[in-house]
A and B are shown apart, each in its own frame.
Chain A
Amino acid sequence: MKLNERSVAHYATCDSPADHAGFLRKRVERHHHHAHHLGTSYQRRWFVLKGNLLFYFEERESREPVGLVVLEGCTVELCEAAEEFAFAIRFDDAGARAYVLVADGQAAMEAWVKALSRASFDYMRLVVRELEKQLEEACKSLAACRKSPRRSSSSGRKRHLSNPALLPLQEKPTTLENGYSTWGSGGCVASGATCSDYDGGQVKPPPLPPRRRSAAGNATGSPVPGLSPAMLESPVSPETICFSKLHNWYGQEIAVLRREWQERQKRGHP
Protein backbone atom coordinates (compact mmCIF):
# COMPACT_ATOMS: atom_id res chain seq x y z
CA MET A 1 0.00 0.00 0.00
CA LYS A 2 1.39 3.36 -0.95
CA LEU A 3 1.81 6.18 1.50
CA ASN A 4 3.05 9.72 1.01
CA GLU A 5 6.24 8.74 2.83
CA ARG A 6 8.21 11.81 2.05
CA SER A 7 5.52 13.98 3.61
CA VAL A 8 5.20 11.61 6.53
CA ALA A 9 8.94 11.67 7.14
CA HIS A 10 8.92 15.43 6.83
CA TYR A 11 6.17 15.71 9.40
CA ALA A 12 8.09 13.39 11.71
CA THR A 13 11.33 15.36 11.51
CA CYS A 14 10.24 18.95 11.04
CA ASP A 15 10.58 21.35 13.92
CA SER A 16 6.93 21.37 14.93
CA PRO A 17 7.09 20.46 18.60
CA ALA A 18 6.56 16.86 19.57
CA ASP A 19 3.96 15.99 22.17
CA HIS A 20 6.40 13.61 23.77
CA ALA A 21 9.83 12.21 22.92
CA GLY A 22 12.45 9.96 24.43
CA PHE A 23 14.35 6.72 24.25
CA LEU A 24 12.46 3.50 24.71
CA ARG A 25 13.46 -0.07 24.23
CA LYS A 26 11.22 -1.83 21.79
CA ARG A 27 10.74 -5.56 21.89
CA VAL A 28 11.63 -7.22 18.65
CA GLU A 29 8.72 -9.19 17.27
CA ARG A 30 9.68 -12.23 15.30
CA HIS A 31 7.52 -14.27 12.97
CA HIS A 32 6.43 -17.40 14.74
CA HIS A 33 8.51 -19.66 12.58
CA HIS A 34 11.63 -17.73 13.52
CA ALA A 35 10.86 -17.47 17.17
CA HIS A 36 11.86 -20.89 18.32
CA HIS A 37 13.56 -20.28 21.63
CA LEU A 38 15.53 -17.31 20.43
CA GLY A 39 14.47 -15.40 23.49
CA THR A 40 13.26 -11.86 23.62
CA SER A 41 15.43 -9.03 22.54
CA TYR A 42 14.93 -5.32 22.64
CA GLN A 43 16.19 -2.49 20.49
CA ARG A 44 16.73 0.99 21.77
CA ARG A 45 15.01 3.55 19.58
CA TRP A 46 14.28 7.24 19.72
CA PHE A 47 10.51 7.74 19.88
CA VAL A 48 8.65 10.88 18.89
CA LEU A 49 4.92 11.40 19.44
CA LYS A 50 3.21 13.95 17.25
CA GLY A 51 -0.55 13.98 17.42
CA ASN A 52 -1.84 10.45 16.87
CA LEU A 53 1.40 9.30 15.28
CA LEU A 54 4.23 7.62 17.12
CA PHE A 55 7.41 7.63 15.09
CA TYR A 56 10.59 5.85 15.97
CA PHE A 57 14.11 6.42 14.76
CA GLU A 58 17.25 4.40 14.91
CA GLU A 59 19.10 7.32 16.45
CA ARG A 60 18.00 10.63 17.87
CA GLU A 61 19.73 12.39 14.96
CA SER A 62 18.37 10.11 12.23
CA ARG A 63 16.85 12.02 9.38
CA GLU A 64 14.09 9.54 8.68
CA PRO A 65 11.95 7.41 10.96
CA VAL A 66 12.28 3.65 10.64
CA GLY A 67 8.75 3.06 11.78
CA LEU A 68 5.39 4.54 12.58
CA VAL A 69 2.52 3.47 14.84
CA VAL A 70 -0.87 5.02 14.19
CA LEU A 71 -2.51 5.39 17.58
CA GLU A 72 -6.12 4.77 16.68
CA GLY A 73 -8.19 1.90 17.95
CA CYS A 74 -5.63 0.89 20.51
CA THR A 75 -5.18 0.70 24.25
CA VAL A 76 -2.03 1.40 26.19
CA GLU A 77 -1.45 -0.71 29.25
CA LEU A 78 1.23 -1.73 31.67
CA CYS A 79 2.42 -5.16 30.90
CA GLU A 80 3.72 -8.15 32.71
CA ALA A 81 6.91 -8.52 30.78
CA ALA A 82 10.11 -9.79 32.29
CA GLU A 83 11.29 -6.22 32.00
CA GLU A 84 10.54 -3.54 34.54
CA PHE A 85 8.80 -0.35 33.30
CA ALA A 86 7.28 -2.15 30.33
CA PHE A 87 4.03 -1.16 28.68
CA ALA A 88 2.23 -2.28 25.58
CA ILE A 89 0.24 -0.72 22.77
CA ARG A 90 -2.41 -3.24 21.77
CA PHE A 91 -4.90 -3.01 18.98
CA ASP A 92 -8.37 -4.44 19.29
CA ASP A 93 -7.96 -5.83 15.84
CA ALA A 94 -6.76 -9.32 16.75
CA GLY A 95 -4.53 -9.60 13.71
CA ALA A 96 -2.53 -6.49 14.36
CA ARG A 97 0.73 -6.83 16.23
CA ALA A 98 1.24 -5.30 19.66
CA TYR A 99 4.16 -3.06 20.57
CA VAL A 100 5.96 -3.76 23.81
CA LEU A 101 8.03 -0.84 24.97
CA VAL A 102 10.31 -0.39 27.94
CA ALA A 103 11.02 2.94 29.61
CA ASP A 104 14.05 4.00 31.61
CA GLY A 105 12.21 4.38 34.86
CA GLN A 106 8.86 4.68 36.61
CA ALA A 107 8.34 8.37 35.84
CA ALA A 108 9.23 7.94 32.17
CA MET A 109 6.90 4.97 31.85
CA GLU A 110 3.98 6.82 33.45
CA ALA A 111 4.56 9.87 31.26
CA TRP A 112 4.57 7.76 28.12
CA VAL A 113 1.46 5.79 29.04
CA LYS A 114 -0.39 9.00 29.86
CA ALA A 115 0.69 10.71 26.64
CA LEU A 116 -0.12 7.73 24.43
CA SER A 117 -3.51 7.05 26.03
CA ARG A 118 -4.78 10.45 25.04
CA ALA A 119 -3.10 10.69 21.69
CA SER A 120 -5.85 9.46 19.42
CA PHE A 121 -7.60 11.68 16.94
CA ASP A 122 -10.82 10.19 18.19
CA TYR A 123 -10.21 11.42 21.74
CA MET A 124 -9.33 14.92 20.53
CA ARG A 125 -12.44 15.05 18.42
CA LEU A 126 -14.67 14.17 21.36
CA VAL A 127 -13.07 16.85 23.52
CA VAL A 128 -13.34 19.47 20.79
CA ARG A 129 -16.99 18.68 20.18
CA GLU A 130 -17.69 18.95 23.86
CA LEU A 131 -15.94 22.32 24.07
CA GLU A 132 -17.80 23.52 20.99
CA LYS A 133 -21.04 22.75 22.76
CA GLN A 134 -19.91 24.41 25.96
CA LEU A 135 -18.96 27.54 24.10
CA GLU A 136 -22.31 27.67 22.38
CA GLU A 137 -24.03 27.26 25.74
CA ALA A 138 -21.88 29.97 27.28
CA CYS A 139 -22.74 32.33 24.43
CA LYS A 140 -26.45 31.71 24.74
CA SER A 141 -26.32 32.01 28.47
CA LEU A 142 -24.50 35.32 28.44
CA ALA A 143 -26.58 36.67 25.59
CA ALA A 144 -29.77 35.84 27.44
CA CYS A 145 -28.52 37.46 30.61
CA ARG A 146 -27.54 40.50 28.60
CA LYS A 147 -31.08 40.79 27.33
CA SER A 148 -32.78 40.38 30.69
CA PRO A 149 -34.40 43.52 32.11
CA ARG A 150 -32.36 45.61 34.46
CA ARG A 151 -32.96 44.85 38.06
CA SER A 152 -33.06 47.73 40.46
CA SER A 153 -29.76 48.15 42.12
CA SER A 154 -29.47 49.60 45.56
CA SER A 155 -26.05 50.94 44.92
CA GLY A 156 -27.14 52.69 41.73
CA ARG A 157 -24.02 51.43 40.05
CA LYS A 158 -24.32 51.35 36.30
CA ARG A 159 -24.58 47.85 34.97
CA HIS A 160 -22.17 47.21 32.18
CA LEU A 161 -24.03 45.13 29.72
CA SER A 162 -21.50 45.24 27.02
CA ASN A 163 -19.08 42.51 27.74
CA PRO A 164 -16.11 42.22 25.45
CA ALA A 165 -16.59 38.47 25.46
CA LEU A 166 -19.91 38.88 23.68
CA LEU A 167 -18.35 40.43 20.63
CA PRO A 168 -18.59 38.15 17.64
CA LEU A 169 -15.95 35.48 17.75
CA GLN A 170 -13.90 36.91 14.98
CA GLU A 171 -10.52 35.96 16.26
CA LYS A 172 -9.32 33.01 14.39
CA PRO A 173 -6.06 31.23 14.79
CA THR A 174 -3.56 32.01 12.09
CA THR A 175 -4.41 30.18 8.95
CA LEU A 176 -1.55 27.85 8.32
CA GLU A 177 -0.84 25.51 5.48
CA ASN A 178 -3.74 23.20 6.19
CA GLY A 179 -5.57 25.22 8.75
CA TYR A 180 -8.53 26.85 7.13
CA SER A 181 -10.52 27.69 10.19
CA THR A 182 -14.16 28.43 10.07
CA TRP A 183 -15.78 28.32 13.40
CA GLY A 184 -19.10 26.71 12.65
CA SER A 185 -21.25 28.48 15.22
CA GLY A 186 -20.33 31.84 13.71
CA GLY A 187 -20.09 33.71 16.96
CA CYS A 188 -22.50 34.90 19.58
CA VAL A 189 -25.97 35.85 18.59
CA ALA A 190 -28.17 37.53 21.12
CA SER A 191 -31.15 35.33 20.62
CA GLY A 192 -33.33 36.71 23.33
CA ALA A 193 -34.12 33.21 24.44
CA THR A 194 -34.29 32.28 28.07
CA CYS A 195 -31.12 31.13 29.69
CA SER A 196 -30.29 27.58 28.87
CA ASP A 197 -29.64 24.89 31.39
CA TYR A 198 -25.94 25.47 31.26
CA ASP A 199 -24.86 25.65 34.84
CA GLY A 200 -21.34 26.80 34.57
CA GLY A 201 -18.87 24.00 34.59
CA GLN A 202 -21.10 21.18 35.64
CA VAL A 203 -21.12 19.63 32.22
CA LYS A 204 -19.44 16.29 32.48
CA PRO A 205 -16.60 15.41 30.17
CA PRO A 206 -17.21 13.12 27.26
CA PRO A 207 -16.26 9.55 28.01
CA LEU A 208 -12.86 8.36 26.95
CA PRO A 209 -13.27 6.09 23.95
CA PRO A 210 -14.37 2.77 25.40
CA ARG A 211 -12.30 -0.38 25.01
CA ARG A 212 -13.20 -1.53 21.61
CA ARG A 213 -14.81 -4.84 20.89
CA SER A 214 -12.62 -7.10 18.82
CA ALA A 215 -13.27 -6.97 15.15
CA ALA A 216 -14.83 -10.12 13.81
CA GLY A 217 -13.06 -12.45 11.47
CA ASN A 218 -10.23 -10.48 9.98
CA ALA A 219 -7.34 -12.15 8.31
CA THR A 220 -3.92 -11.81 9.87
CA GLY A 221 -2.05 -8.69 8.98
CA SER A 222 -0.15 -8.73 5.77
CA PRO A 223 3.03 -6.83 5.17
CA VAL A 224 2.47 -3.54 3.50
CA PRO A 225 4.34 -3.31 0.23
CA GLY A 226 5.35 0.05 -1.05
CA LEU A 227 7.16 1.41 1.96
CA SER A 228 10.74 2.27 1.16
CA PRO A 229 13.50 0.10 2.67
CA ALA A 230 14.43 2.97 4.96
CA MET A 231 11.09 2.59 6.68
CA LEU A 232 11.60 -1.07 7.47
CA GLU A 233 13.50 -2.50 10.40
CA SER A 234 14.45 -5.56 8.43
CA PRO A 235 13.39 -6.96 5.09
CA VAL A 236 12.10 -10.13 6.73
CA SER A 237 9.73 -8.74 9.33
CA PRO A 238 8.68 -5.24 8.33
CA GLU A 239 7.44 -3.32 11.29
CA THR A 240 4.55 -1.60 9.69
CA ILE A 241 0.96 -0.94 10.37
CA CYS A 242 -1.57 -2.67 8.24
CA PHE A 243 -3.44 0.36 7.07
CA SER A 244 -5.97 -1.77 5.36
CA LYS A 245 -6.90 -3.24 8.68
CA LEU A 246 -6.90 0.18 10.28
CA HIS A 247 -9.30 1.33 7.66
CA ASN A 248 -11.62 -1.59 7.26
CA TRP A 249 -12.19 -1.94 10.92
CA TYR A 250 -11.94 1.64 12.08
CA GLY A 251 -14.20 3.20 9.49
CA GLN A 252 -17.16 1.36 10.92
CA GLU A 253 -16.09 1.82 14.51
CA ILE A 254 -16.04 5.61 14.32
CA ALA A 255 -19.62 5.72 13.08
CA VAL A 256 -20.76 3.43 15.90
CA LEU A 257 -18.86 5.39 18.52
CA ARG A 258 -20.29 8.67 17.36
CA ARG A 259 -23.82 7.29 17.33
CA GLU A 260 -23.46 5.87 20.81
CA TRP A 261 -22.10 9.12 22.16
CA GLN A 262 -24.89 11.13 20.57
CA GLU A 263 -27.47 8.80 22.03
CA ARG A 264 -25.98 9.16 25.46
CA GLN A 265 -26.03 12.93 25.04
CA LYS A 266 -29.71 12.83 24.16
CA ARG A 267 -30.49 10.73 27.19
CA GLY A 268 -28.76 13.34 29.30
CA HIS A 269 -25.68 11.49 30.41
CA PRO A 270 -22.84 13.36 28.75
Chain B
Amino acid sequence: AVLKKRLVKLVVNFLFYFRTDEAEPIGALLLEHCRITKEEENVFSISFIEEPERKYCFECATEEQCQEWVEALKRASYEFLRRSLIFYRNEIQKMTGKDPLEQYGISEEARFQLGAPRQ
Protein backbone atom coordinates (compact mmCIF):
# COMPACT_ATOMS: atom_id res chain seq x y z
CA ALA B 1 0.00 0.00 0.00
CA VAL B 2 1.20 3.45 -0.89
CA LEU B 3 1.03 6.18 1.71
CA LYS B 4 0.10 9.62 0.44
CA LYS B 5 0.75 12.79 2.35
CA ARG B 6 -2.48 14.41 3.41
CA LEU B 7 -3.67 17.20 5.62
CA VAL B 8 -6.25 15.71 7.94
CA LYS B 9 -8.83 17.70 9.85
CA LEU B 10 -11.34 16.52 12.40
CA VAL B 11 -14.55 18.55 12.34
CA VAL B 12 -17.39 17.31 14.54
CA ASN B 13 -17.83 13.64 13.61
CA PHE B 14 -16.16 13.89 10.19
CA LEU B 15 -12.54 13.40 9.31
CA PHE B 16 -11.70 15.47 6.24
CA TYR B 17 -8.55 14.98 4.26
CA PHE B 18 -6.84 17.29 1.77
CA ARG B 19 -3.93 17.30 -0.54
CA THR B 20 -1.45 19.43 1.34
CA ASP B 21 -1.61 22.46 -0.93
CA GLU B 22 -5.35 22.54 -1.56
CA ALA B 23 -8.17 24.33 0.19
CA GLU B 24 -10.97 21.91 -0.68
CA PRO B 25 -11.00 18.45 0.89
CA ILE B 26 -10.73 15.49 -1.43
CA GLY B 27 -12.60 13.26 0.94
CA ALA B 28 -14.26 12.70 4.28
CA LEU B 29 -14.96 9.83 6.63
CA LEU B 30 -18.03 9.84 8.82
CA LEU B 31 -16.83 8.64 12.20
CA GLU B 32 -19.80 6.67 13.48
CA HIS B 33 -19.77 2.92 14.20
CA CYS B 34 -16.07 2.80 13.61
CA ARG B 35 -13.11 1.41 15.47
CA ILE B 36 -9.88 3.30 16.01
CA THR B 37 -6.91 0.99 16.41
CA LYS B 38 -3.36 1.79 17.34
CA GLU B 39 -1.20 -0.15 14.93
CA GLU B 40 2.59 -0.22 14.81
CA GLU B 41 4.68 2.78 15.80
CA ASN B 42 3.29 6.11 14.58
CA VAL B 43 0.39 4.37 12.85
CA PHE B 44 -3.31 4.12 13.61
CA SER B 45 -6.19 2.81 11.59
CA ILE B 46 -9.90 3.43 11.25
CA SER B 47 -12.24 0.61 10.30
CA PHE B 48 -16.01 0.42 10.11
CA ILE B 49 -18.36 -2.03 11.68
CA GLU B 50 -19.84 -3.39 8.48
CA GLU B 51 -16.46 -4.00 6.86
CA PRO B 52 -13.98 -4.56 9.69
CA GLU B 53 -11.17 -5.93 7.58
CA ARG B 54 -10.94 -2.76 5.52
CA LYS B 55 -8.62 -0.37 7.34
CA TYR B 56 -7.91 3.25 6.57
CA CYS B 57 -4.34 3.63 7.81
CA PHE B 58 -2.69 6.83 8.90
CA GLU B 59 0.97 7.30 9.67
CA CYS B 60 1.87 10.22 11.92
CA ALA B 61 5.11 12.11 12.25
CA THR B 62 5.62 11.04 15.88
CA GLU B 63 4.27 8.46 18.28
CA GLU B 64 2.98 11.26 20.51
CA GLN B 65 1.00 12.73 17.66
CA CYS B 66 -0.35 9.27 16.92
CA GLN B 67 -1.62 8.86 20.48
CA GLU B 68 -3.27 12.29 20.34
CA TRP B 69 -5.12 11.35 17.18
CA VAL B 70 -6.23 8.01 18.58
CA GLU B 71 -7.64 9.69 21.70
CA ALA B 72 -9.33 12.44 19.73
CA LEU B 73 -10.88 10.08 17.20
CA LYS B 74 -12.20 7.72 19.84
CA ARG B 75 -14.18 10.61 21.25
CA ALA B 76 -15.23 12.04 17.92
CA SER B 77 -18.52 10.28 17.31
CA TYR B 78 -21.90 11.69 18.11
CA GLU B 79 -22.74 8.38 19.74
CA PHE B 80 -19.80 8.79 22.12
CA LEU B 81 -21.07 12.24 23.09
CA ARG B 82 -24.52 10.86 23.68
CA ARG B 83 -23.22 8.11 25.93
CA SER B 84 -21.15 10.65 27.83
CA LEU B 85 -24.21 12.79 28.36
CA ILE B 86 -26.26 9.89 29.67
CA PHE B 87 -23.41 8.83 31.94
CA TYR B 88 -22.85 12.31 33.45
CA ARG B 89 -26.56 12.86 33.83
CA ASN B 90 -26.92 9.62 35.74
CA GLU B 91 -23.92 10.33 37.97
CA ILE B 92 -25.10 13.84 38.79
CA GLN B 93 -28.55 12.55 39.53
CA LYS B 94 -27.20 9.93 41.91
CA MET B 95 -25.05 12.48 43.67
CA THR B 96 -27.32 15.45 43.91
CA GLY B 97 -30.75 13.93 43.47
CA LYS B 98 -31.40 16.40 40.67
CA ASP B 99 -31.70 15.85 36.95
CA PRO B 100 -29.28 18.27 35.29
CA LEU B 101 -31.14 18.09 31.99
CA GLU B 102 -34.29 19.64 33.36
CA GLN B 103 -32.92 23.15 33.05
CA TYR B 104 -32.36 22.59 29.34
CA GLY B 105 -35.84 21.29 28.79
CA ILE B 106 -34.52 18.08 27.29
CA SER B 107 -34.95 15.67 30.17
CA GLU B 108 -37.79 13.79 28.52
CA GLU B 109 -36.13 13.16 25.20
CA ALA B 110 -35.94 9.48 24.39
CA ARG B 111 -32.39 9.79 23.10
CA PHE B 112 -31.11 10.67 26.58
CA GLN B 113 -32.77 7.98 28.60
CA LEU B 114 -30.54 5.61 30.49
CA GLY B 115 -32.26 2.46 29.42
CA ALA B 116 -32.48 3.40 25.76
CA PRO B 117 -30.78 0.83 23.54
CA ARG B 118 -27.95 2.50 21.68
CA GLN B 119 -25.18 1.42 19.43
Contact = CB atoms under 8 A, between A and B. Distances in A.
Contacts of B74: 178-180
Interface string A194-230: 0000001101110000000000000000000010000
A176 interface: yes
B82 to A, nearest CB: 7
A121 B78 contact: yes
Interface residues of A, number: 63
Contact of A127 (B28, B79, B85): B85
B113 to A, nearest CB: 11
Contacts of B40: none
B80 A179 contact: yes
Interface in A1-17: 1-4, 6-8, 10-11, 14-17
Contact of A132 (B36, B48, B88, B116): B88
A22 B111 CA distance: 16
A244 B24 contact: yes
B112 to A, nearest CB: 9
Contacts, number: 182
Contact of A11 (B9, B14, B32, B84): B32
Nearest to B35: A177
B21 interface: no
Interface in B25-63: 25-36, 48-51
B81 A121 contact: yes
A178 B50 contact: no
A139 B110 CA distance: 27
A1 B27 contact: yes
B12 A121 contact: yes
Contacts of B98: 200-201
Contacts of A203: 103
A22 to B, nearest CB: 14
Contact of A173 (B33, B49, B78, B86): B86
Interface of B: 9, 11-14, 16, 23-36, 48-51, 71, 74-75, 77-89, 91-92, 94-96, 98, 100-101, 103-104, 106, 109-111, 116-119
Interface of A: 1-4, 6-8, 10-11, 14-17, 19, 50-53, 70, 72, 118, 120-122, 124-125, 127-128, 130-132, 134-135, 138-139, 142, 165, 169, 171-173, 176-183, 200-201, 203-205, 226, 243-244, 246-248, 250-251, 254
